[in-house]
Chains A and B, each alone.
Chain A
Amino acid sequence: MSEIHAQTVSYVRETMLPEQEPPVTERGAIKWVRENLFSSWLNGLLTLISLYFVYWVLSHTLGWMVYGIWDASSLSECRAIRDELYGEGANVACWAVIADRWHQLLFGFYPAEAYWRPVLALILFGGALAPILFDGLPRKMLMLSIAAPFVCYWLLWGGTIWGPAAVALGFVIGGMIYAYSQSIIGVLGATIAAVLVPILYWLFLAGPIAGALGNTLPIGINAIGSAEFGGFLLALVIGASGIILSMPLGVVLALGRQSDLFIINKFSVLFIEVIRGVPLIVWLFTASLLLNYFLPPGSNFDLMLRVIIMVTLFSSAYIAEVVRGGLAALPRGQYEGADSLGLNYWQSMQLIILPQALKISIPGIVSSFIGLFKDTTLVVFVGLSDPIGFSNLIRATTDWNGIYWELFIFIGLCFFMFCFAMSRYSQYLERKLRTDHR
């Protein structure tokens, strides 16, 4: 051994070689480019074509956007400034229309001195959503979430504070009845009473109470009618109310569709299938046209409210089907396990079934919501001034007639912001709730 070793030792390196850099083609940016863009001649060709396409699009739009004119009061003035700066007929955007009318695209006809109200309502709404969306936040913030719908309503529409307060009291009454009367009239009795008593209260007591309080303690802000709402304010109010209201309704419908009770089951199926079987635009026309024929003449309750109701019903049917998918995906053992623990129906749903079913349904629910939010632009067909509707109104003035892309790009960007945020949140939620070990 040692001899062999002695003879071979001169060929053995005694010191380590210093680490060498990988060849230039196998490191850094060049490696990345070779692997991802030019891994074969076909990929290389496609890369070149794509690059050319990107260049072509940017070369046509970037200059148009960047050199756009921001300071003009009409399209013709815009064109005059352009001719002066870049020569006759240069192709540049006229962003001045956004600078001139952005407040209308965001707030519609809402009075300018009251813009702080929707802004405050939006901040409050965000604050109210935060503890629901992110469970790291203190639980006390949930109090804000409960109060937010009423405060937001009051901020947006104004008027006396006692109206929303009297309505909120109804929910308190319902909750107390449910909590304290179970021992006396049983769970089912308590549930029914908790629904019926507040409805009776709203019908017969809420109005007089709010009126009496308003007379004795007139606290309130300027009332602003629904007709003044427009632009993204309108889209957000319709979208947010639709999303918030359709979620519980959708879950109830999904449970109803799974129910063994014949009437509830068939009613849920009928509701879901009828609502889903007809396009949203038809429901909107129903809200704006047909309801007027059915209701006695002269009774026009708020078009915006009618639209919110229709959008909510429409969205809840879709949510119901998404949630039903989640319910169906749960193994039967989960239901049986809940039963064997002696939980009643609502407890088993609340503690075992729905948390799992909703987790499975998250991507579907969020994409329904994104769709709902974008569908709010359909209200333009019933004469509401949503962002698209307002772009038509802006174009109808002699100042801005003939301007298209600038308005649509602005509206598109605003919608993208909201929808992208929703999409990112749903991905965050999926990651957080993932309990399996993939």
Chain B
Amino acid sequence: MKKSVFLGTLAVAGLAAGFASAQTLAEVQARGSLNCGVTTGLTGFAAPNASGEWEGFDVGLCRAVAAAIFGDATAVEFVPTTGQTRFTALASGEVDMLARNTTWTFSRDVDLAFEFVGVNYYDGQGFMVPRALNVSSAMELDGATVCIQTGTTTELNLADFFSSNNMSYEPVPIETNAEAQQQYLAGACDVYTTDASGLAATRATFEDPSAHVVLPEIVSKEPLGPLVRHGDNEWADIVRWTLNALIAAEELGITSANVNELAAGTENPEINRILGTEGDLGAMLGLDAAWARNAIAAVGNYGELFESNIGENTPIGLARGLNAQWTDGGLLYSPPFR
């Protein structure tokens, strides 16, 4: 019944294949919606609510890009991708961008031919232990049993950390975060290790979170960022500068509440350039002059996005830490808009 559709698609795709790669923006605009790859559910970063709308920190970035292109934050099709399917989904054009907690590594950037356009969350691997163990540092974990997700970079980081500190450990291999929570609570392991944001989210679900502590040591660098395909730099620019606009907006004090007021014109030329009242940055991207204004109005600036999804007022309760603005001692540093 769908054979005709299938073969028709094949034929059209074959014709289009030659020049499909360099015009993602045109494709997205013709389609009328952005295809954004997200996780198959990660607390605080991407999950559907009871009415089926996606919410979360990564989701917010997808919505910001959609708002920058269309002026409409709902013009996004979210495509859940697993750890195995995410890169093919992007490479094959099934999604236009990935905002999926993906660590920026050399080989992913170079060998897999993707373009990481920035970092929206600086994460790192940490350890969680029951408070009753009276452990205050990861250096005291010699001989511990450790719950660890198999086949992830966390497994390798763990081995590196213990061997470089001349400590031994006994791994308890587990498959998913859900299983890890159960095993850890049942006492099958002394320590649970994964990304610090994941630890915080897991700890928040416990009956008594105060009975568990996340140790201060962070043993790896996990810069998580959105990525696009190699070879379409115009498209990469749009995603990169949307992210930068959110970060710069926080630095400059533009929020979703005051963006329309500021868009009337301010004393600060950089704010004017971002919001499109001065210069023609939007036109350079091939977008409307109000692109950044729409993005900020839709999801708020970086700080608002952080606070509403994973910040200290949410059950996850992550501190800004490395993800604070450079002016506050963090790593967020947007290049200037000029």
Contact = CB atoms under 8 A, between A and B. Distances in A.
B130 interface: no
Given A398-B44, A401-B205, A288 B85 contact: yes
Contacts of B133: none
A299 B79 contact: no
Contacts of B92: 292-293, 295, 297-298, 300
Interface string B76-91: 0101111011001101
B272 interface: no
Given A292-B92, A398-B204, A393 B47 contact: yes
B8 interface: yes
Interface string A85-126: 000010000000000110010001101100000000000000
A393 B51 contact: no
Contacts of B316: 398
Residue from A111, A203, A293, A296 having most chain B Cβ neighbours under 10 A: A296
A392 interface: yes
Nearest to A382: B85
A78 B99 CA distance: 32
Contact of B40 (A150, A164, A202, A392): A392
Interface string A279-293: 000000100110011
B105 interface: no
Contacts of A76: 315
Contact of A392 (B1, B2, B20, B41): B41
Given A298-B16, A398-B43, A206 B4 contact: yes
Contacts of B79: 227, 383
Contact of B47 (A75, A199, A396): A396
B8 A207 contact: yes
Interface in B282-338: 314-316
A86 to B, nearest CB: 14
A397 interface: yes
B4 to A, nearest CB: 4
B204 A393 contact: no
Given A300-B93, A301-B5, A396 B85 contact: no
Given A207-B8, A392-B40, A404-B178, A296 B52 contact: no
A393 B40 CA distance: 6
A397 B81 CA distance: 17
Given A300-B92, A402-B206, A383 B40 contact: yes
A150 B40 CA distance: 31
A389 B91 contact: no
Contacts, number: 150
A153 B1 contact: yes
A101 to B, nearest CB: 6
Contact of A393 (B4, B16, B41, B206): B41
Residue from B7, B48, B88, B89 having most chain A Cβ neighbours under 10 A: B48
A108 B80 CA distance: 13
Contact of B207 (A89, A295, A305): A89
Given A298-B20, A392-B41, A402 B205 contact: yes
B182 A404 contact: yes
Interface string A342-365: 000000000000000000000000
A296 B205 contact: no
Given A289-B85, A393-B41, A298 B2 contact: no
A305 B6 contact: yes
Residue from A292, A299, A393 having most chain B Cβ neighbours under 10 A: A299
A305 B2 contact: yes
Contacts of B7: 203
Contacts of A202: 3-4
Interface string A385-421: 1000100111111100110100000000000000000
Interface in A302-328: 302-303, 305
Nearest to B13: A299
Interface in B2-24: 2-10, 12-14, 16-17, 20-21
Given A227-B77, A292-B88, A382-B85, A397 B43 contact: yes
B25 to A, nearest CB: 14
A89 B8 CA distance: 60
B42 interface: yes
22 contacts: A104-B48, A153-B1, A164-B1, A203-B3, A206-B4, A207-B8, A295-B13, A296-B16, A296-B20, A297-B21, A297-B92, A297-B93, A298-B17, A299-B12, A299-B93, A301-B6, A383-B40, A385-B40, A393-B40, A396-B41, A401-B43, A404-B182
Given A109-B52, A295-B92, 7 more contacts: A292-B91, A293-B88, A296-B16, A298-B17, A300-B93, A394-B47, A396-B46
9 A-B pairs with least C-beta separation? A299-B13, A396-B41, A402-B205, A296-B17, A292-B92, A298-B20, A396-B47, A393-B41, A401-B205
Interface of A: 75-76, 79, 89, 100-101, 104, 108-109, 111-112, 149-150, 153, 164, 167, 199, 202-203, 206-207, 225, 227, 285, 288-289, 292-293, 295-303, 305, 380-385, 389, 392-398, 401-402, 404
